[in-house]
Amino acid sequence: MSRRTLAESYEKIPTHIFPNSGAAAKALAAEVKALIEERAKEGKNVVLGMATGSTPVPFYRELIRLHKEEGLSFKNVITFNLDEYYGLTGDHPESYACFMREQIFDHIDIPKANINIPSGTVPGDQVFAHCREYEEKIDAAGGIDFQILGIGRTGHIGFNEPGSSRDSLTRRITLDRVTRQDAAADFRGEENVPHFAITMGVGTILRGKKLVLMAWGENKAEMVAKAVEGPVTEAISASFLQDHPDARFCIDEGASRELTRVKLPWLVGPVSWTPRETRRAVCWQAFKTNRPVLKLTDEHYNEHGLSDLLSEQGPAYQLNIRIFNQLQHTITGWPGGKPNEDDTYRPERATPYPKRVLVFSPEPQDAIVAMGSTIERLVEQGHDVRIVALTSGSLRISDSEADKFAGTLQELAGVVEDSPAWQSQVAYAREVLKQLEDKGEFGEDTPMLRQLKGLILRGELRDAAHACNVGTDHVTFLGLPFYEQGRYRRFKSTEADIEALTSLLREHKPHQIYATGDAADPSSVSGICFKLLESSLKACHKEEWAGSASLWLYRGKEKPLAAHEIDMAVPLSPMQLERKARALSRYGSLSSLELSSPESNRQNASHYDALGLAEYEAIETFQRWSRV
Ligand code: F6R
C-alpha cells in the first residue's frame, strides 16, 4: 500500500495539512471565489455556511482582500451562520452578529437581506418556531453549497456539544463547561459567558453539499485526530463528518500533530529517521511497553513496527544507549550554560558568561507560569535576566479587580489625615467606578479602564518577578500596540509592533532568548507575539548578536512538550517548586490551567523517570528554536 493509502486507512475524512493557517485560508478562499464567480456567470446564487470564532478569521480576511483587490463581488451570495449565543442582542460586542459584521460583512458588498444568523433574543416560547423557520429558510435558498466549520475543544461543530445526535436540527442548546471556559477571556470571566446558544444541528450541517472544517494550532490536535481517526460518535460531533460524501479537514501543522501519520509515522510508511523522529520512536516504544529506554529489546522494536529503525540504527542495545544519552544530555541545572566547563553535551553553550537573557512573555503571566524556576536559576547563576511583557494583558483583568482597586483608593482617602491632598485620587476612583457602571457587564472597556487593568497586572508581574529574584528594573512592559487596539480573536498586528520589538532587541542585544507561541493558534496573543518576534529577528539577522543568540521555546497555554521534543530540561527541587507556586500566587487572575503549571512540571519529571532517567520532583522544559 502506498503511504497515502495507509494514512487514509487511519484517516476517515480527507485531511489536508497546510504549512500554516494563512496558506490554508488562501487556498479555501480561492475555491470559494471560483464557486461564486461560476454561479454569477450562470446568474445563480451561492449559499455559504459561515462560522465564527478565531478559526475562520484568516479565511474572512482573505475573502475581504479578494473583494477589495481582485473585485470579487458577493452580490449573489446568501449566508447562514451556524450559531448565536442565546441572550445576546445583535449589538452586543461578543454576539456573533456583531462578530460577523466586524470580521467580514461590513467589508464586502453582500446585500444585507442575504445574511442569516439565528436570533439570540427570540423569546423562549418562540425559539422552536424560530429554529424551524431557520431550517426552512436554508432549504428555500437551495441548501448550503459550501459550509465552513471550526472545531471546539469538546469536538463540537457549530455548538453541537457532546450528546448531539446525528439527526439534530437547529435548536437551543446548553453550552458545555469546556466551551464556556474557552470563551471566558472574550467575556472577561467565565461567569459572564452565556449558558445557552442557538445552533444549527448536526443533521442541518450534514445536509450541506460541501463541508470544510478548519483547525489551527496544537490545542486542536487531539480533537482533530479523534474526529478524523476515531469512531463516529455523539461524544464528538465533528466525527459525523466521516459519514458525509464531500467533507474534508484543512488544518495547519500544529493541529495535525496527533494524527497517526504525524505522530507515529512508522505505522503509515517509510520514515526518514532524523534524530528527532528516532527519539520520538524510542520514547514511544518505552512508554508503550512501560519500560525504561535501556531495557527495550530488539523484539520490542520488531513487534511494534520499528524493524526499519532497528535495521538502520540497531541493534536495540546501541540504539537505546544513544537515545538514553541524548535524553540525559537535555537535563541541566545550568540553563544559561555552565561557565568554565566543557559544553559539548550541554544544551546551552558556556560562553559568553554572564549572558544577557531576554524572556518574552506574551501576557504578563505567561513566562512565570511556564519557566518561573528557570528564571530564578538564571538570576542565581549571575546572568542578566530581563522579563519582557509584550502586551499589557489588560483584557484578562475582570471588572471586579478594577472595582476593588478604586474602592480601596476611595476608602484610603477617607482614612488618611491629609485628605484634601487626596482629592485628585478620589476623583480618579470615582471616575473609574462610574465608567465601570456605565459600560455594564459586557461593554467595551474605556481607555482609562484598560489602563488601570493593565497597571494591576503590571503590579502582579513585578511582584511575581520579585519572587523569582528579578528586580523591578529588569521587567519591561512593551505594551505592543496590536493588543491595545484589539480584542481577543480580533487582533491585527502592524509594522508598529515589529518596530517596537526590533528596537527592544537592538537595545539589549541578547545572548539568549526565551519565547513561546510557535505551536499556538496564530490568532491568539501568544501566536501573534511569536510571529512578531520571528519578523523582528529576521529584521536583525545580519547583526552579530542576532546571529549568535540562542533561542529557546517554552510552552504556555498549549500542550506541554513531549519527551522527544525536549532539548533542555531544567530540574526543580521540591523547594524550588514551592517557590514557583508562591510566585504564581502573586497573580489574582490565573486560569485553572495556569494554576496547574506546577502539576504539569511534575508530570514532565515523571515522564523522564519512566524513561529511566533520574527521578526529579519537577522539570521545566524547552525546545531549541531553529533559526529564523
Ligand atoms: C462558531 C462555531 C464553533 C467554533 C469552535 C471553534 O460559530 O460554530 O464550533 O468553530 O468553537 O472556535 P475557535 O475557532 O474560536 O477556536
Asked if pLDDT for residue 416 goes beyond 80, the answer is: no
Mean pLDDT of 260-283: 93
Mean pLDDT of 421-426: 83
Asked if pLDDT for residue 198 goes beyond 50, the answer is: yes
Mean pLDDT of 361-390: 97
Mean pLDDT across the chain: 94
Residue type (1 letter), 113 = A
Query: Positive or negative, the Cα torsion across 601, 151, 246, 101?
Result: negative
Mutate to test the pocket of ligand 1, among 21, 60, 151 (most ligand atoms within 8 A of CB): 151
> What's the gap in Å between 195 CA and the centre of ligand 1?
16
What does the pLDDT read at residue 272?
93
Q: Which atom of ligand 1 is nearest to the CA of 220?
A: 16
Dihedral, CA atoms, 95, 101, 104, 108, nearest 10 degrees? 160
In the chain, ranges of CATH 3.40.50.10320 domains: 356-395+448-624
Q: Buried b vs exposed e over 316-355: b needs ≥16 C-beta within 10 Å?
A: beebbebbbebbbebbbebbbbbeeeebeebbbbbeeeeb
Q: How many CB atoms lie within 10 A of CB 447?
A: 9
Distance CA 98, CA 32 (A): 23
What does the pLDDT read at residue 276?
93
What does the pLDDT read at residue 593?
80
> What's the gap in Å between 214 CA and the centre of ligand 1?
10
Task: Domain 356-395+448-624: state its class.
Answer: alpha beta
Distance CA 374, CA 381 (A): 10
Check if 348 is active-site: no
* Residue closest by Cα to atom 8 of ligand 1: 158
CATH number, domain 14-259, options 3.40.50.1360, 1.10.10.10, 2.40.160.40, 3.40.630.30: 3.40.50.1360
Mean pLDDT of 157-162: 97
Mean pLDDT of 436-464: 89
pTM: 0.92
Q: How many CB atoms lie within 10 A of CB 401?
A: 17
What confidence tens digit (pLDDT) does each residue in 491-528 have?
889 999 999 999 999 999 999 999 999 999 888 999 99
Task: At 90, give phi and psi (nearest 5°).
Answer: -65, -15
What does the pLDDT read at residue 1?
45
**Long-range contacts made by residues 73-77, C-beta under 8 angstroms, separation at least 24?**
73/36, 73/40, 73/109, 74/36, 74/108, 74/109, 74/110, 75/40, 75/109, 75/110, 75/111, 76/36, 76/39, 76/40, 76/44, 76/45, 76/46, 77/36, 77/45, 77/46, 77/47, 77/48, 77/110, 77/114
DSSP notation for 291-323: --GGG--HHHHHHTT-HHHHHHH--HHHHHHHH
What does the pLDDT read at residue 454?
93
Residue type (1 letter), 62 = E
In the chain, ranges of CATH 3.40.50.1360 domains: 14-259
